[in-house]
Amino acid sequence: MLSTVEGLVRELRTIGIPVSTTEHIDAARALKVIDIGDRSQVKAALAATMVKRIEHLPAFNTVFDLFFSGLAQLEGALEEVGEEGSPNSVAAMLNALGDEELREMLINATEMNDELMMNALVEAFVDRKANIQKGAQVAGNLYVFRVLRSLDLPDVREQLIERQEIDPESPGADLQQRLAESDADHKVELLQQKVEAAVRMQLVADRGAGAVARSLRSKLPEDIDFLTGSTAEIEALQWTLAPLPVQLAQKLAAKRSHGRHGVIDFRGTVRHSMSTGGVPVDIAFKKPHPPKPELIVLADISGSVSSFATFTLQLTFAIRSQFRSVRSFVFIDGIDEVTDIMQSSDDIAEAAARIDDEKKGFSLDGRSDYGSAFRSFVKRWGMQINSRSIVLILGDGRSNYRQPSEDMVEFMAKRAHRVFWLNPEREVSWGEGDSVIPKYAQHCSKVFECRNVRQLKEFIDELD
pLDDT in tens, 177-188: 888 888 888 888
- Reduced to 3 states (helix: H, G, I; strand: E, B; else coil), residue 119 is helix
Q: Which CATH superfamily is domain 239-250+291-462 in?
A: von Willebrand factor, type A domain (3.40.50.410)
| More confident position, 202 or 41 | 41
Distance (Å, whole) CA 42 – CA 378: 61
Q: What integer best gives the mean pLDDT of the chain?
A: 77
Distance (Å, whole) CA 328 – CA 296: 6
- Relative to beta strand 325-331, strand 294-300 is parallel
Q: Write out pLDDT tens, residues 8-43.
A: 888 788 877 888 888 888 888 888 888 877 778 888
Q: If you ran DSSP here, which 8-state letter would residue 27 be given?
A: H
Half-sphere exposure (Cβ direction) of 147: Cα atoms closer than 13 Å: 28
φ, ψ at 327 (rounded to 5°): -115, 130
CB 212 within 8 A of CB 139: no
CB 359 within 8 A of CB 372: no
| More confident position, 289 or 215 | 289
Residue among 257, 283, 281 at smallest CA distance from 268: 283
State the CB neighbour count (10 A cutoff) for residue 350.
12
Q: Is the pLDDT of residue 64 over 70?
A: yes
Please state the rounded mean pLDDT for residues 46-50. Answer: 91
pLDDT at 375: 94
| More confident position, 458 or 23 | 23
- Reduced to 3 states (helix: H, G, I; strand: E, B; else coil), residue 338 is coil
State the CB neighbour count (10 A cutoff) for residue 368.
25
- The DSSP H or E segment spanning 331 is strand 325-331
| 428 burial via Cβ count (<10 Å: 0-12, 13-18, 19+) | exposed
Residue 459's alpha-carbon distances to 237, 259, 343, 375, 450, in angstroms, are 17, 21, 24, 26, 8
Lowest model confidence (mean pLDDT) among 118-127, 279-288, 295-304: 279-288
Residue type, 109: A
130: CB partners within 8 A, 6+ apart: 143, 144, 146, 147, 199, 202
Please state the rounded mean pLDDT for residues 150-170. Answer: 85
pLDDT at 75: 42
Q: Identify the bridge partners of residue 448 per DSSP, sorted by sequence position.
A: 422
- Reduced to 3 states (helix: H, G, I; strand: E, B; else coil), residue 167 is coil
Percent of the chain with pLDDT over 90: 11
Q: Is the pLDDT of residue 454 over 70?
A: yes
Confidence of residue 355 (pLDDT cuts 50, 70, 90): confident
Half-sphere exposure (Cβ direction) of 258: Cα atoms closer than 13 Å: 7
Q: Is the pLDDT of residue 279 over 70?
A: no
Sheet containing 446-449, strands listed edge to edge, beginning at the edge strand earlier in sequence: 335-337, 325-331, 294-300, 389-394, 418-423, 446-449
| 15 burial via Cβ count (<10 Å: 0-12, 13-18, 19+) | middle
Please state the rounded mean pLDDT for residues 344-367. Answer: 78
Half-sphere exposure (Cβ direction) of 376: Cα atoms closer than 13 Å: 18
In this prediction the pTM is 0.56
Half-sphere exposure (Cβ direction) of 346: Cα atoms closer than 13 Å: 1
Q: Is the pLDDT of residue 258 over 70?
A: no
State the CB neighbour count (10 A cutoff) for residue 333.
22
| 448 burial via Cβ count (<10 Å: 0-12, 13-18, 19+) | middle
pLDDT at 71: 39
| 295 burial via Cβ count (<10 Å: 0-12, 13-18, 19+) | buried
Q: Is the pLDDT of residue 449 over 70?
A: yes
pLDDT at 178: 85
Confidence of residue 444 (pLDDT cuts 50, 70, 90): very high
| More confident position, 279 or 370 | 370
Lowest model confidence (mean pLDDT) among 143-157, 254-268, 352-366: 254-268
CB 269 within 8 A of CB 284: yes
Distance (Å, whole) CA 363 – CA 372: 10
| More confident position, 283 or 382 | 382
Residue among 462, 463, 452 at smallest CA distance from 240: 452
For the chain, which residues make up each domain, given as ranges? 2-67, 71-218, 239-250+291-462, 264-289
CA 21 to chain CA mean position, Å:
27
φ, ψ at 153 (rounded to 5°): -60, -40
89-103, 111-125, 296-310, 397-411, range with greatest mean pLDDT: 397-411
| More confident position, 280 or 454 | 454
Q: Is the pLDDT of residue 442 over 90?
A: yes
